[in-house]
Amino acid sequence: MKTLVTYISRSGNTRTVAEAAYSGLEGSKDLRPIEEVEDVEGYDLVLLGFPVVGEGAPGKARRFIKKAGRKRIALLVTHGMPAEMDAFADVIPNCQAAAGAAELVGTYHCQGAMVSWMPKVLRLHPYGYVRRWARMNGSSHGAGHPDGADLEGARAFAAEMEAKIVAGERS
């Protein structure tokens, strides 16, 4: 059983979550930024981390998944918007839709603090609900996340995904 944990991360949140997920794996494993992954041959499971951009998966993640073909993939998603907001409802389904031909075995998501200029830019967004979100206070933009509980969740999620694949191989 060999697992690749790879990630896209601009400001470090998803990298931190990916590192926590990596630490939760017991079998053979690699941890690499997406730019350093040439192919996914030889991995039984890929944990792919990315930040939500424009309410879905960034293009780099979509291209990676497409290239990976029919691989078993689990997603590690970080996002600025609190999961409780109505506008968040479509975000994870949008990310999961990017899985394409891959076998999506699970999705973990948590908030990740937005870079400070982002809410200022979003105040000019064409959609009213985005402007309203931008005007909310810091905790609505993920301040303090990923926190200890988010990272513990990522560790447990990775262990669960690994166990799921191992159990499937035994049966």
Interface with ligand FMN, residue 11, by CB under 6 A: yes
Number of residue whose CB is nearest ligand FMN: 112
Interface with ligand FMN, residue 80, by CB under 6 A: yes
Interface with ligand FMN, residue 14, by CB under 6 A: yes
The token duo for 141 is 């933009």
Q: Residue 15, SS3?
A: helix
Binding ligand FMN (rule: CB under 6 A), the pick from 24, 112, 119, 153 is 112
Interface with ligand FMN, residue 78, by CB under 6 A: yes
Interface with ligand FMN, residue 9, by CB under 6 A: yes
Closest approach, Cβ 83 to ligand FMN, in A, equals 9
Interface with ligand FMN, residue 52, by CB under 6 A: yes
The Cα 28–Cα 37 span in angstroms is 16
Closest approach, Cβ 11 to ligand FMN, in A, equals 3
Closest CA to 105 of 152, 168, 51, 60: 168
Sheet bearing 45-51, strands edge to edge: 28-33, 2-7, 45-51, 72-79, 103-111
The Cα 147–Cα 156 span in angstroms is 14
Tokens 């394409």: give the residue.
100
Amino acid identity at 43: Y
Interface with ligand FMN, residue 153, by CB under 6 A: no
Interface with ligand FMN, residue 138, by CB under 6 A: no
The token duo for 50 is 């990315």
Binding site for ligand FMN (CB under 6 A): 9-15, 51-55, 78-81, 112-115, 118, 142
